[in-house]
Amino acid sequence: MSKNRSKGIVVSAFVLLLFSAGLNVLQAQRIRNLLEFKSPSPVLGTRASTIEGFSQAGYKRELVLAGDTPTLLYYFSERCGWCERNWENLRAVSSGANGRYRVVLLTKDRNISNYLTTRGLHGIETIEGIGEGTMRSLGLGATPHTIVVSRDAVITHEWRGAYTARIARQLEGLLGIELPGVSPATR
């Protein structure tokens, strides 16, 4: 092998090494930004008067939160693995309501009737296709996210993530029900 060719290979390898190192630095920065990202959070004690979106039938819908009973909002996504693991808990929350509180599922997704039916959630009130304004006003970001709104539309509690033992205990105490726990991962 000629000296020039060997030198060219070394230079090429060095350039590739620098390029790779640069990509690693960029990727590390992106990961750091993701870890430091904090979803906007509703300020406990603030008002959350209405939610705009669509009914499952596709009609524009405005949900007024002030009313006779407190409202438990559960924000989810069809692609959320933690939401999948939490559906049994949501069914328990919904069946334990007995008129003491209202349960409403919220999602940015549209046309989700089949999704909800296959998970045994078809009877729970749902607002789909919620917009950025609603997401900002409720501090919604990552799914799942549970928010409790009082009768006078004031945010009183919130939890992010699946109903781990800590969250389940808090919800059970607040709602006066027993939760089955987070389902095992199926994926």
Question: Which two structure tokens, joined as six digits, stand for 36?
Answer: 């430091």
Q: Which residue has the tokens 């979106």?
A: 53
C-alpha to C-alpha distance for 75 and 136, rounded to whole angstroms? 13
> C-alpha angle 137/140/145, rounded to 5°?
130
Instruction: Give 79-124 pLDDT, tens digit per residue.
Output: 999 999 999 999 999 999 988 999 999 999 999 999 999 999 988 9
Radius of gyration of the chain (CA): 23
Can you give the residue ranges of every domain in the chain? 1-37, 50-175
Q: What percent of the chain has pLDDT over 90?
A: 59
**Omega before 144 cis (within 30°)?**
yes
Question: Which two structure tokens, joined as six digits, stand for 95?
Answer: 């069946």
Can you give the pLDDT at residue 35?
42
Predicted TM-score of the model (pTM): 0.76
Instruction: Give 136-182 pLDDT, tens digit per residue.
Output: 889 899 999 999 999 999 999 999 999 999 999 999 999 999 999 87
Strand partners, 154: 47
Please identify, in words, the CATH class of the domain defined by 50-175: alpha beta
Yes or no: say if 78 and 164 are a contact pair by the CB < 8 Å rule.
no
Can you give the pLDDT at residue 33?
47
Crossing angle for the helix pair 81-95 and 165-175, to the nearest 10 degrees? 20
